[in-house]
Structure 1
Amino acid sequence: MLGFINNFFKNRPDKELKVSPQVPERPKSDQFSIGYDPNLIDELEGTHVHLVNLFGRIWSEFEQTNYGKVATLINQFKADFQAHLLTENVKFYVYLEQALADDKHNLKIVKEFRTDMNEIANAAIKFCRTYQGKFTPEMVQNFKSDYTNIGEIVTRRVSLEEKSLYILYRPR
């Protein structure tokens, strides 16, 4: 497995994909249109683990020259990644932007994270679109470099989110 995947899992507690068992309570104030979800961070972190594992499986299949399986896994990664981004954009970022409306410094940081994540997401989706179909010899030749670049960017970003940004998510 490539180094960026191993680095992602170093010194990390085991987490599995978690889905909130119930709908979070509506906010007590009309100030927030998105309520606090006590399970959201565990859910997002569990999805990160799932996505990194799935990304690692893509590489394993590529090494075995099973390009049809690579394309299938890339399609799955793309769908799961987009679902994760929607959850993060709606439940996480919107909540934080509302909750930090009076904290201009942290609000600016959150907005920068969100903008950066959208740029990273666009690059990851472009990678997925490039490799989601039948592989040509040129695609095979470019795959390792493209895969490594996207993998390093995404895993670095996920680690940064979990260590620096998710701590801001708390009931207000």
Structure 2
Amino acid sequence: MLKIIIQFLQNLFKLPQTQPQGYEAIQTGEQRLEANEFIDSKIGYSDDLILNLKHDHVELVELYGAIAGFIEQENYEYIAPALEELKNKFNLHLMQENVHFYCYLEQSFLDQKEQLEMIKGYRKEMNAISAAVVRFIKKWQSQVIDATNIYEFNNEYNAVGEVLAQRIHAEEHHLYTLYQP
């Protein structure tokens, strides 16, 4: 599982694929954990995790709404910086979800095949959604948004927003309810 997380972080931050020196053991104060002990460690429950994830959703929706305001007011020059902020907050949210939420659920439901498959399905779907969102943001950050292409941007923006809204609803009303101590 740790290798998957490291791969995810390396891909997310475009880090080199090499393992750092001393990877075989992690130094933690006076206690030394061997790599296999660290990899086998469990993700703990957090009382605040769901609250924090829902707060992230609020912030993401607010940013999304701000971009809609820039479109409506024809303040196109503010869209690119807002997209950058949206991308950063979205990536942090995904990292939190992947490392703390999904890992915890998967270890909690190891012995319940149907639930585990559903959780993995949600995770796979979220990875596809996140890839689409990142593609959308990168596309529009690489070009000037103005009156000549705002219609195209707005169509793609609305499609991304619809998918994200459906996903947020599904997470908050179904998936997050599975997170229990």
TM over 0.5: yes
Q: After the TM superposition, which segments of 4 or more aligned residues of structure 1 sit over 6 Å from their partners?
A: none
Q: Which of 97, 107, 115 is the aligned partner of 2:116? A: 107
> C-alpha separation between the residues in 2 aligned to 1:132 and 1:90?
28
Matched, 1:150 2:157: no
Matched, 1:38 2:33: no
RMSD: 1.6
Structure 1 residue 42: deviation in Å? 0.3
How many equivalent residue pairs?
142
One-letter identity of the residue aligned with 1:143? F
Structure 1 residue 68: deviation in Å? 1.6
Match of 2:179 in 1: 169
Matched, 1:159 2:158: no
Higher RCO, 1 vs 2 (CA within 8 Å, ≥6 residues apart): 1
Structure 1 residue 139: deviation in Å? 3.0
Match of 2:93 in 1: 84
Flag the structure with larger Rg: 2
Matched, 1:65 2:74: yes
- Closer/same/farther in 2, CA of residues 79 and 166 from structure 1, 3 Å limit: same
- Closer/same/farther in 2, CA of residues 126 and 138 from structure 1, 3 Å limit: farther
TM-score (structure 2 length as normaliser): 0.75
> C-alpha separation between the residues in 2 aligned to 1:83 and 1:138?
32
TM-score (structure 1 length as normaliser): 0.78
Match of 2:59 in 1: 50
> C-alpha separation between the residues in 2 aligned to 1:32 and 1:114?
21
Q: Which has the higher strand share?
A: 2
Match of 2:15 in 1: none
Secondary structure of 1:34 counterpart: coil
- For residues 68-106 of structure 1, the C-alpha deviation after alignment (integer angstroms, 9 at most, x for no partner) is 211110110000000000000000000100010001110
> C-alpha separation between the residues in 2 aligned to 1:140 and 1:97?
42
Structure 1 residue 137: deviation in Å? 5.1
Show structure 2 runs of 5+ residues with no match. Answer: 1-38
Match of 2:134 in 1: 125
One-letter identity of the residue aligned with 2:174? S
